[in-house]
Amino acid sequence: MFSQIDELQARCVEQFYCGLSPDIAQGTACVMLQVFNDDSQTDEYYIVAGYVAPRDQWEAITPEWHHVLKHPPRLGYYRTSDAIALKGQFERFDEPSRNERIAELARTLVDHRHFFGVACWVSKKEFATYWALSLTQCEPWDGGLTLAC
C-alpha cells in the first residue's frame, strides 16, 4: 500500500513541475499549501481573497474555527459577501453581532504564524475578453472566477 502512495506522490510532484524550465525545476523545493477563499464581485470587478497555509496549520485551527461557527446564531459556513450584506448565513445578525463574529473568526488565525492572505481581482471586461471563452471548455464551469485565479 505504501508503495502505491509513494508512486502517487511522485506523480503529483511530476505533474506540478510539468512544463517548468529544467533550470527552475532542478533545485527547487516543492511546498504544498492549502487555500480557503471567498469570491465576490462589484459592477466592474471579480474578486477572490483568502488565506493560505500549510495543511497542518489548517488542521490546527479547524476545531476552533468550527467552534466559533457554532456560536448562536449558528453558521454553517463563512462567506464574507454574505456577512457584509447581512444575507444568507448572516440574515439573522445585526451589524454589531456580525462584526463580532468576523472578529472571533479572525482571532482563530492570530496564534498561527504560517497563515498569509492572498487576493486577486480582474475587471469583468478583461475577464470576458481573455478568460471566459477558454474556461468554458473546463468542466464544471459555472462562470466563477475562483478557477481563473
Residues 76-93 have pLDDT tens digits of 999 888 999 999 999 999
Mean pLDDT in residue range 9-32: 65
- Residue 46: closest CA among 115, 111, 123: 123
Q: In this predicted structure, what is the pLDDT of residue 146?
A: 47
21-25, 56-60, 62-66, 84-88: the lowest-pLDDT one: 21-25
More confident residue, 75 or 60: 75
* Residue 59 contacts residue 114 (beta carbons within 8 Å): no
Residues 2-20 have pLDDT tens digits of 566 567 666 666 666 666 6
Cα–Cα distance, 130 to 145 (Å, whole number)? 12
pTM of the model: 0.61
